Amino acid sequence: MTADDIYRKQNLGNASGIGARCALVLVDFVNGFVDAAQFGGPHIAAAVHATRPLLAAFRKAGLPIAHTRVVFADDGSNKNVFCMKVPPLLTLTEGAFASQIVEDLTPMEGELVLRKTSASAFFSTGLSEWLRLRGVDTAVIAGCTTSGCVRATVVDAMQFNFRTIVIEDCVGDRALAPHEANLFDMRQKYADVMPRDAFLVLLAKG
């Protein structure tokens, strides 16, 4: 019996679908996570490139867009357990180049930019309230890393009762194995997972 057979037999992996209004959440597409010498890997640069048309479609549709950055204080005064596991996170300060959103996805006026010190885009950021105020019921997730901050964001989106969609070619990780394993697991329990172009067809239908 394959893994797919086991999950199917237990009736996992059902679709939650798209609701009445989507928002795009771009998780940590910053310079340091694109650079394999810092926090990134080759799959993340490809995800950034794939995300450009996705972001353009949301802008054209006038739908809410949120970006996240990991930002710690210059003096390390808000150091947390996350930094104990990953000490280089403390280099992601407000003015650091590594913490700036990549040029290809530069936020525009009216788009929310959230600073965070944890994995999830929802944890202590007010994102869920911001989305609800704008009538959003579906969170569309792109970003990095698939196995880290993307996964944490997806789990929290579901726990805040948003329909959640992961755009599989618009997320990336340091290595292919954790990327694929986490896409599989999120598809089974927390989110719909689909290619960008398939999602854009659905988005265009309204």
* Residue 46 reports pLDDT greater than 90: yes
Share of the chain above pLDDT 70, in %: 100
> pLDDT band for position 100 (50/70/90)?
very high
Mean pLDDT within 15-23: 94
Specify whether the CB–CB gap between 7 and 184 falls below 8 A. Answer: no
Given a cut of 90, whether residue 4 has pLDDT beyond it is no
Is pLDDT of 206 > 80?
no
pLDDT of residue 70: 96
SS3 string, 116-138, reads: ECCCCCCCCCCHHHHHHHCCCCE
DSSP 43-92: HHHHHHHHHHHHHHHHHHHT--EEEEEE-B-TT-TT--HHHHH-GGGGG-
pLDDT tens-place string over residues 147-199: 999 999 999 999 999 999 999 999 999 999 999 999 999 999 999 999 999 99
pLDDT for 41 equals 82
The three-state secondary structure class of 185 is helix
Q: How confident is the model at residue 14 (pLDDT cuts 50, 70, 90)?
A: confident
Average pLDDT (35-62) is 94
| Catalytic site residue from 22, 144, 149, 170 | 149
- Per-residue pLDDT band for 43 (boundaries 50, 70, 90) equals confident
Residue 126: pLDDT above 80?
Answer: yes
- Structural domains present in the chain: 19-205 (3.40.50.850)
Known catalytic residue: 149?
yes
The closest alpha carbon to 144, from 199, 192, 182, 184, belongs to 182
